[in-house]
Chains A and B, each alone.
Chain A
């Protein structure tokens, strides 16, 4: 029996989870190097000019994998309304026209309760007996657990970095944790890891700092979770002294697609109840619906800043951006937003300048409010 060699696109630390998904089913996971400029180049060359950035990044991943002799690509898809649903089909077309021979496996994730993903997983498995039902169950369980752990790592990483005494330690610990999650392939081990990860982050030497800012980070999922695409915005925010709060993660998304994510439901409720001032009434693709909800949520919880990252020309996120800009402009909510569109043109230098300026703004604003000019 031939083991399939399956590749999948990168998205931050989440390769760990996808790898389990593939390897748990008895196929071989094939990982291209983490996103880099060299890999991106063919992606840029062959993608449509005005497409959103994740398309180009993932196409670069696929080309790198195919060049190394991988034959099967796994890609998630959605059923609209944003461009994401077209990704795999157009990418398949582009790659075929380039003359690669491969198989495109796609995972419809519009609604995971349709259980179409089970068929996808089974198709990866070389063993066609009934035993693979058990494998699907085991893999899905491991996958979810790993997603949860990666979510934890991302969360702790954002919260601790601004307090660390030795610069760079948090990043190291996070990397180490990801390695640990990657290595563990039994459910009970993963369960033990959960508290271990928490402890590891807690044990990072920290100091109290006055005037740390509470900043919420959200946006389009690929851009927000992938440090290459977003120029490592989370780390930079942390180094500038911001406590980064992030609810967005792969786990969050998966649970949402199982219709069990009550946090997202709450955000939807927030957006819906603000109809009069333009809260979205339905999911328009991307994360726009929840971005609005998060904005309201964090504004109510008294956050200091709100960072919205998205691919340049992303249709749903621009809608959200327009509305948030107006809300802040009219001081309906007192939470200064910053918007960071990313694409291959975004120069590092300009980005850092803008980010630093934004953090500076938040700091002076906080000082001012402390000194009694708080508006009531």
Chain B
């Protein structure tokens, strides 16, 4: 019998990786491929990405290029560049996702065969996308079906883990270790609840958000990301005005999460992270700002790009959290009142 050497498929650690990776990984592994992921984002990857991408493009896409180049060094047989057109009925992804495989094909040389996956829930079911992908690898329908079912199962398990409060990295570790029925322990905090909302690729990449989460945790606040919120809230399509329904897939999630969080009385502040030159976010940001102002919820939006210095971001976050804490404790300095808050309030 001939021992078949597993072919390698490369997946860049960027963009939708932070959302669907467990799904893709299980799917390809079940189809008998070895999944290779690019290295974690680092300054070299950013630099290379910047070299390949034109300068006007948003930073996540520049990173995508960087990760692609990083993967090409890893001697892979295929490369996986999905085309997510819409992930829920009636939505679109950002135009850059729509043209992603074309963009990559049009701008990079010496690529291994690209495995495409068109996910378009406006027109066809998810299973059809799985078949399309599996067919490019010459697998039988039965194999594809089996892999698809397992992948979906893993993905749901992964999402549920995150709903229970795990971060992306923690949940990934559990998936990688094949631990089933994991129950996380609650984390200690000082009672200040801050939600960090934004695209997965900005929130879960510690390089690009400059270790924001570590900073927040060191200030002992409770951090909530949109993946930690209950799944039901993402089912309904958000309505922007009475005449316009939102049509962007990623923003859909963000808006649902924000709407949900705004109802939450325990929320103390909202941090919105978006990347420089991100088209949809520029509009969403405006809408959230206006809503937050109306509801009087502290809100800050951080615009990330590869040039932005760590100092500015950290200063803003620190000031923001300080502002919330001071507000919560009612600390003020005026001529009449000179710090007279009773110490009991400080236990938080």
Q: How far is the CA of A315 from the CA of B243 in the complex (A)?
A: 24
B33-41, B184-192, B283-291 - interface stretch: B283-291
Contact A323 B103 (CB under 8 A): yes
Residue among B56, B91, B99 with the highest chain A CB neighbour number at 10 A: B99
With beta carbons under 8 angstroms apart, the residue of B92, B106, B276, B285 that contacts A81 is B92
Q: Chain A residue with minimal CB distance to B57? A: A318
Contact A90 B283 (CB under 8 A): yes
With beta carbons under 8 angstroms apart, the residue of B53, B91, B106, B107 that contacts A279 is B106
- Closest Cβ of chain B to A49, distance in Å, is 7
Considering only residues 69-110 of chain B, those with a C-beta below 8 Å from chain A are 85, 91-96, 98-99, 101-107, 109
Q: How far is the CA of A288 from the CA of B106 in the complex (A)?
A: 13
- Encoded as 1 (CB less than 8 Å from any B CB) or 0, chain A from 34 to 70 comes to 0000000000000111111000000000000000000
Q: How far is the CA of A321 from the CA of B96 in the complex (A)?
A: 12
Chain A residues, Cβ within 8 Å of B279 = 50, 52, 82-83, 313-315
Q: How far is the CA of A277 from the CA of B283 in the complex (A)?
A: 33
Q: Chain B residue with minimal CB distance to A92? A: B241
Contact A86 B244 (CB under 8 A): yes
Number of interface residues of A (CB under 8 A): 50
With beta carbons under 8 angstroms apart, the residue of A88, A97, A313 that contacts B56 is A313
Chain A residues, Cβ within 8 Å of B247 = 79-81, 85
Contact A81 B248 (CB under 8 A): yes
Chain B residues, Cβ within 8 Å of A281 = 99, 101-102
Contact B282 A278 (CB under 8 A): no
- Encoded as 1 (CB less than 8 Å from any B CB) or 0, chain A from 274 to 317 comes to 01111111101110100000000000000000000000111110
- Closest Cβ of chain A to B49, distance in Å, is 13
Q: Is A352 an interface residue (CB 8 A)?
A: no
Contact B106 A312 (CB under 8 A): no
Chain A residues, Cβ within 8 Å of B276 = 50
Contact A278 B243 (CB under 8 A): no
Contact A323 B286 (CB under 8 A): no
Chain A residues, Cβ within 8 Å of B240 = 86, 89-90
| Chain B interface residue bracket vs A | 35 or more
Contact A94 B105 (CB under 8 A): no
Q: Chain A residue with minimal CB distance to B100? A: A319
Contact B106 A278 (CB under 8 A): yes
Chain B residues, Cβ within 8 Å of A97 = 290
Contact B278 A50 (CB under 8 A): yes
- Encoded as 1 (CB less than 8 Å from any B CB) or 0, chain A from 103 to 115 comes to 0101000000000
With beta carbons under 8 angstroms apart, the residue of A48, A77, A82, A325 that contacts B95 is A82
Residue among B92, B96, B98 with the highest chain A CB neighbour number at 10 A: B98
Q: How far is the CA of A161 from the CA of B241 in the complex (A)?
A: 46
Which B residues form the contact surface with A (CB < 8 A)?
Answer: 53-54, 56-57, 85, 91-96, 98-99, 101-107, 109, 240-241, 243-244, 247-248, 276-283, 285-287, 290, 303
Given contacts A82-B279, A85-B244, list 6 more A-B pairs with CB under 8 A. Answer: A47-B286, A50-B279, A81-B93, A278-B104, A282-B99, A321-B56
16 contacts between A and B (CB under 8 A): A47-B286, A83-B279, A85-B244, A90-B286, A93-B290, A276-B105, A278-B102, A278-B105, A278-B106, A281-B99, A314-B279, A315-B94, A318-B54, A318-B56, A321-B54, A322-B106
Interchain residue pairs A-B with the least CB separation, the first 3: A278-B106, A81-B92, A323-B106
